[in-house]
Amino acid sequence: MNDTLLTLLRKVDTPTVCNAIEVAEGRRGFSNFTRGTMLSSVPDGPAMVGFARTARIAATHPPADPLETIRQRRMDYYRHMSSGPRPAIAVVEDMDFPNCIGAFWGEINTTVHKGFGLSGALTNGVMRDLGDLPDGFPVVAGSIGPSHAFVHVTEIGATVSIFGLTVRDGDLIHADRHGALVIPPEVVDGLETAIRKLLATEKLVLEPARRPGFDFDAFEEAWSAFEAART
């Protein structure tokens, strides 16, 4: 992924990328996206883009492993998050879903991850400390809550599921307040062109619709041009 594409991906929202992938693939039916409503810590902020650094957590019950094992796994988790290609996003599945209670993503943990150079976090779990999270590190989560409960890491680098989206360690993620998707590797080279084509095509309808006096005849003409441009 080159810098020009990265800059563009950060400027457009996730629905635009979802549509642009279909343009790049030349067909409808792209399905590697989240289902359901997710929450963003910075709903008006830009999208986050990066390669997934995955893990699993749980929080409803205390961990049953020996204390030393728990500590070692925690350090292994942070070592994993601090390494790998950049830009990167922490993608963490809460195994208590849909009854998640432990906020893994609060002021301290987000600040640590930002310090490691990660661009944000995606989780089906809980976030907290809204208003105190560091700038430039958005969290897209399943819920908001006050407690960390018994939150602990259970697996590192595993294939995870976030609101129906399967994410493998190293997958390229795009996420914002709408949810998230995995960008297929085979479309990366053509994705910039596809996004620019999509934006230009949408203007064929949007610009006439925003002009005074827009009516059905103007719509019919605009839609005809829109459909011609898509084929």
Q: Mind listing the domains of the chain with CATH numbers?
A: 31-183 (3.50.30.40), 189-230 (no CATH)
Q: Are 56 and 153 in contact (CB under 8 A)?
A: yes
Q: What angle do CA 143, 144, 145 make, to 5 degrees?
A: 125
Calculate the alpha carbon distances from 81 to 93, 170, 180 in Å.
14, 11, 19
3 state SS of 60: coil
Q: Given this model, what pLDDT does residue 230 score?
A: 77
Considering only CA atoms, give the Rg of the chain.
Answer: 20
Interatomic CA distance for residues 187 and 207, integer angstroms? 28
Measured in whole angstroms, the distance separating CA 60 from the mean position of its chain's CA atoms is 25
Distance between CA atoms of residues 208 and 206, nearest Å: 6
Q: For position 229, what pLDDT does the model report?
A: 87
Per-residue pLDDT tens digits for 184-224: 999 999 999 999 999 999 999 999 999 999 999 999 999 99
Whose structure tokens read 């343009």?
23
Q: What's the pLDDT tens digit per position in 104-157?
A: 999 999 999 999 999 999 999 999 999 999 999 999 999 999 999 999 999 999
Helical pair 3-11 and 188-210, crossing angle rounded to 10 deg: 40
Q: Is the Cβ–Cβ distance between 30 and 22 less than 8 Å?
A: yes
**Maximal CA-CA distance, the chain:** 72
